[in-house]
Amino acid sequence: MDEAALILHAANGDTAAWEPLVLAHQEAVFRLSYLLLGDPDDAEDIAQETFLRAWNHLKRFDKGRPLRPWLLSIASNLASNRRRSAGRYFAALTRAFRNEPTVSTSTEEKSARHLEAGELWKAVQHLSLPDQQIIYLRYFLDLSVMETADVLQVAEGTVKSRLSRALERLRGIIQKDFPVLAEWREGPGT
Amino acid sequence: MNELQRERFEEQLHSLAKGLDYPRTPNVTDAVMGRLRAPAPPRFLSRRLAWSLTVLLVLCSSLMLIPSVRAAVIEFIQIGVVRIFRAEPTPFTPPNQELPSTIVPITATPAPTLQPLMPILEALAGEMTLEEAQQAVHYPILLPSYPPDLGQPDYVFVQDADGAMIILVWMKSQQPDRVWMSLHLIPTGSWAITKMGPTIIKETTVNGQSAIWAVGPYPLQFSNGKLDFVRLIDGHVLIWTGGEITYRLETDLSLEEALKIAESLEPVR
C-alpha cells in the first residue's frame, strides 16, 4: 500500500495503517527535533508528540500532499515552543550546577569529519531560530527547496531569499568564531 | 557572496552536515502506537482530570520499579506548589540500570549532548529588567541581601507558568557562563512541581515557616494540567513559602548558607 492509501486508512481511524508511516518518518522527525533542541530526550518527546498530533488532525490533512513536510512542520513548531519552556530551563539549570562534563573517549575518537560537522552545528546554533530551521531543513535533512517551502508554509521564492540571508549570516559567524571551519571553507577547491 | 561562492558554500554545507553524528533514533513507533491503542478514559471524567490521572498512574507504576521508592512511597510533604514524596534515603538506582522509561535521566546524558546553559538562557522567554519584572507581576519581588556583595541578579525572567513565575539567576563572577544560584518565585496556582524520594530530605524553617531542603538525585515532575514530564535531577534545593509565593532556591551551597540567603530576602530597593 502506498503512502497516500495508508494516510487515507489512518484518517479513518485505522491505527495499523499509521504504524508504517510513523516508522518511515520517525528518523527525520527525531533528527529535526534533535537539531533544534540539542537533547535526545527532548527530541524523543517531541517526535512522539508530533505523531500523536498528526494522528489527531489527519482528517484535516490534504491527502494529496506528501506527509513528511507536514510532520516536520509540526515537529518544528513543537520544538520551538519547547525551546522556550520553563520546564526545559529547569532541567538545563540543574545540569549547569554540576561539574563540567568530561570529554568521553568516544568523543575523542570521533573522526575529524564528525567533529567538523559538530562545529558546523554549533555555528548554526548562533543563528536566529528561523535561520536555524531553514538551514537544518535544507542542508542537514537534505530537503528540496519545494519541501522546505512546504514545511515552512511559505513560497519557494521566500525560501530562496531567506536561505540567502541565512547563509550570509552563517558565513559571517564561521569567519568570526569558527576558524577551523573557515579554513575548510577557504580550503582547496574554493 | 557571488553566485559561484554561494554554490560552493552550499555544497560544503551539504557535505559537512551529512557527517553529523546523531544519536540513535529511538523507537518512536512503539511508543506512539502504544499510546494510540491505550484504552480511552471513561467519559464521565474531564479530559484534564483523565490526563492527570493517567500521568499519575504511569508515574507511580514506573516509580514502583525502583526498590527505594517501592519501599516507601506513601507519605508526602507539601510546601506551596511543591510536593515531595518521602522515600527511604537509600541510593537511587543508577541510571544505567533498570530505570523506568518515563523517567529521563539527565545525569545519564552522555557528555557530548550536554548543552551549555547560556544559549538556553538566551533563548528563554520573558527576559526583562528587574523593574519591568516588578511591573509585570502582582506580588513584590524579594531579593536576597545576603551575602552582602551579592548584588542584583544577572538574569531576570518572567515566565507564564499558569501564573507569572519569576526566575532570578546569578552567575559565578569568576565563570560568567556558570550559574551560582537561582531563585524562583512561584505564585499559587502555577505549575505543580513534584519531587519523588530525594536522596536527602531535611525539614527546616525559614523565618519560622516550614521549609524543605532536598538533595538529589531524584525524579522531578512538572505538571500544569496540559503538560507533564519527569526528569532525574541532581541538585540542592531549598523550598519555602511566604504568603502566596513558593520560593525555590537552587544552589550548590550548603544548607546553612542557603538558609541565610532565604532569610535575607527583602523588597527591591
Q: A44 and B26: CB-CB below 8 Å?
A: yes
**Better-scored residue on pLDDT, A97 or B38:** B38
Contacts of B124 in chain A (CB under 8 A): 84, 89
Distance in angstroms (rounded) separating the CA atoms of residues B268 and B163: 21
Residues paired with residue B213 on neighbouring β-strands, in sequence order = B202, B238
CATH topology for the A1-101 domain: Rna Polymerase Sigma Factor; Chain: A (1.10.1740)
Out of B16, B169, B220, name the one closest to residue A117 (CB). Answer: B16
Contacts of B191 in chain A (CB under 8 A): 86-87
Q: Degrees (nearest 5) of the Cα angle A161, A164, A165?
A: 90
- Which residue from B193, B185, B200 is spatially nearest to B221, judged by alpha carbons? B193
Residue of A nearest to B164 (CA): A86
Contacts of A103 in chain B (CB under 8 A): 111
Condensed to tens digits (0 to 9), the pLDDT of residues A18-39 reads 999 999 999 999 999 999 988 8
What pLDDT is attached to residue A131? 93
pLDDT at B176 exceeding the cut of 90 = no
Which three three-digit cell numbers place residue B190?
Answer: 502555577
Distance of CA B158 to the CA centre of its chain: 15
To the nearest whole Å, the CA of B116 is away from the closest chain A CA by 7
What pLDDT is attached to residue B228? 46
Q: Degrees (nearest 5) of the Cα angle B189, B195, B201?
A: 120
Report whether B80 contacts B246 (CB < 8 A): yes
User: May I ask the CATH architecture of the domain A106-190?
Assistant: Orthogonal Bundle (1.10)
To the nearest whole Å, the CA of A153 is away from the closest chain B CA by 22
Q: In A125-178, where does DSSP find H-type helix?
A: 129-135, 145-152, 156-177
Q: Is the ipTM of this complex over 0.95?
A: no
Burial of B208 by CB count in 10 Å (0-12 exposed, 13-18 middle, 19+ buried)?
exposed
Contacts of A190 in chain B (CB under 8 A): 5, 8
pLDDT at B144 exceeding the cut of 50 = yes
To the nearest whole Å, the CA of B64 is away from the closest chain A CA by 22
Q: B14 and A190: CB-CB below 8 Å?
A: no
Q: A101 and B222: CB-CB below 8 Å?
A: no
What pLDDT is attached to residue B25? 94
Residue of A nearest to B30 (CA): A19
Confidence (pTM): 0.52
Q: Quick check: A189 contacting B, CB < 8 Å? A: yes
What pLDDT is attached to residue B269? 66
Taking each helix axis from N to C end, the angle separating A3-11 and A15-37, rounded to the nearest 10 degrees, works out to: 100
Which three three-digit cell numbers place residue B126?
Answer: 520573558
Condensed to tens digits (0 to 9), the pLDDT of residues B63-100 reads 444 444 444 434 556 666 666 665 544 443 333 333 33
Report whether B190 contacts B163 (CB < 8 A): yes
Contacts of B29 in chain A (CB under 8 A): 19, 22-23, 26
Cβ neighbors of A179 (< 8 A, separation 6 or more) are none
Residue of A nearest to B12 (CA): A185
Q: Quick check: A48 contacting B, CB < 8 Å? A: yes
Bridge pairing between strands B155-160 and B164-171: antiparallel
Q: Quick check: A31 contacting B, CB < 8 Å? A: yes
Report whether B182 contacts B197 (CB < 8 A): no
Contacts of B238 in chain A (CB under 8 A): none
Residues paired with residue B219 on neighbouring β-strands, in sequence order = B232
Residue bearing cell 530530605: B201
Contacts of B231 in chain A (CB under 8 A): 87, 90-91, 94
Residues of chain A with CATH 1.10.10.10: 106-190
**Better-scored residue on pLDDT, A140 or B45:** A140
| Portion 139-158 of A in contact with B at CB < 8 A | 139-140, 142
Distance in angstroms (rounded) separating the CA atoms of residues B3 and A188: 18
Taking each helix axis from N to C end, the angle separating A179-186 and A156-177, rounded to the nearest 10 degrees, works out to: 120
Q: Which residues of B88-97 are buried (b: 16+ CB within 10 A; e: fewer)?
A: eeeebbebee
Cβ contacts below 8 Å, chain A against chain B, sum to 178
Q: Degrees (nearest 5) of the Cα angle B148, B80, B211?
A: 50
Contacts of B108 in chain A (CB under 8 A): none
Q: A52 and B112: CB-CB below 8 Å?
A: no
Condensed to tens digits (0 to 9), the pLDDT of residues B205-216 reads 998 888 888 876
Instruction: For residue A15, give Cα distances in angstroms to A58, B71, B110.
Output: 12, 39, 35
SS3 B124: coil
Distance in angstroms (rounded) separating the CA atoms of residues B170 and B150: 8
In chain B, the percentage of residues whose pLDDT exceeds 90 is 13
Please tell me the least confidently modeled range out of A61-70, B38-47, B194-203: B38-47
**Better-scored residue on pLDDT, B111 or B172:** B172
Q: In A99-155, where does DSSP find H-type helix?
A: 105-108, 112-124, 129-135, 145-152
What pLDDT is attached to residue A44? 92
DSSP conformational letter for B228: E
| Portion 62-101 of A in contact with B at CB < 8 A | 83-98, 101
State the pLDDT confidence band at B45, using cuts at 50, 70 and 90. Answer: very low
Residues of chain A with CATH 1.10.1740.10: 1-101
